């Protein structure tokens, strides 16, 4: 596994998301009260899987963090894999998968380094990775998600609504060379980005959850489910 998975390009130097070593430091203290440091899966993911329309096949969690959603998918009967470019995240997810006694394929890599077989996934999931990608990586990301899905496969996304993000436009992010903590998306913008290669099945605000619900949900996040035609 590479030590520095995110290869730098000229554009990466112009507009950076948070680099993998920033995330390593972020994950160093697992006891911090960060909402997504919990073990609970996204309420939206649990809802969609419970609805029964997503075949229990191959699932890939992009930017999987501590593995909370990938572990849920493995428990639900998927052949699940997670990838994250933070080594600290992958180590945490490895430990949590062991404790949960589930089989989970974990890979320390940038999503852009993956050698994904086209049409290999029944479900691609992203909770909080897409909104940390700089604008120039967006089209490539949409293409990789779409290519990884089987026809009829599903893409689940959790990302910042406008009030959850930094408030920066793409142009401001490029000018200031920062995403300011992650980009917020309007409904129209999300539809514009994803409705080309995918058919958007549902797009709604996440439902906030109480601490004892066993689920993760925050009102400043979108939950989008889309399908590859």
Which parts of this chain interact with ligand SAM (CB under 6 A)? Answer: 17, 23, 36, 63-66, 68, 83-86, 89, 110-112, 127-129, 132
Query: Distance (Å, rounded) from C-alpha 132 to C-alpha 141?
Result: 12
Comparing CA positions, the residue from 151, 29, 204, 133 lying closest to residue 142 is 133
- Cβ closer to ligand SAM: 152 or 180? 180
First and final C-alpha spacing in the chain: 34
Which residues in 161-171 are b (16+ Cβ under 10 Å) and which e? beebbbebeee
User: What sign does the dihedral 96-150-7-35 (CA atoms) show?
Assistant: negative
> What tokens were used for 67?
């593995």
Judged by beta carbon, residue 64 or residue 198, the one nearer ligand SAM is: 64
Q: How far is the CB of 152 from ligand SAM (least distance, A)?
A: 24
In whole angstroms, how close is the CB of 71 to ligand SAM at the nearest point?
Answer: 11
Closest distance of CB 229 from ligand SAM, Å: 26
Residue closer to ligand SAM, measured from CB, 68 or 161:
68
Minimum CB separation of residue 34 from ligand SAM in Å reads 9
63 or 153, CB closer to ligand SAM? Answer: 63
């Amino acid at each position: 596994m590479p030590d520095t998975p995110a290869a730098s390009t000229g554009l990466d130097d112009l507009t950076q998301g948070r680099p993998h070593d920033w995330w390593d430091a972020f994950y160093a203290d697992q006891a911090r009260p960060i909402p997504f440091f919990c073990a609970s899966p996204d309420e939206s993911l649990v809802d969609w899987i419970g609805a029964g329309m997503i075949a229990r096949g191959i699932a890939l969690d992009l930017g999987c963090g501590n593995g909370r959603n990938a572990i849920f998918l493995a428990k639900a009967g998927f052949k699940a894999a997670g990838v994250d470019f933070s080594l600290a995240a992958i180590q945490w997810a490895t430990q949590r998968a062991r404790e949960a006694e589930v089989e989970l394929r974990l890979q320390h890599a940038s999503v852009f380094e993956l050698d994904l077989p086209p049409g290999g996934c029944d479900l691609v999931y992203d909770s909080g990775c897409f909104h940390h990608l700089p604008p120039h990586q967006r089209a490539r990301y949409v293409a990789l998600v779409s290519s990884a899905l089987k026809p009829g496969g599903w893409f689940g996304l959790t990302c910042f609504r406008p009030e959850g993000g930094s408030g920066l436009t793409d142009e401001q992010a490029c000018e200031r060379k920062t995403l300011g903590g992650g980009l917020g998306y309007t409904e129209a913008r999300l539809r514009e980005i994803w409705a080309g290669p995918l058919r958007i099945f549902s797009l709604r605000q996440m439902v906030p959850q109480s601490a004892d619900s066993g689920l993760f949900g925050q009102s400043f996040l979108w939950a989008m489910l889309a399908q590859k035609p």
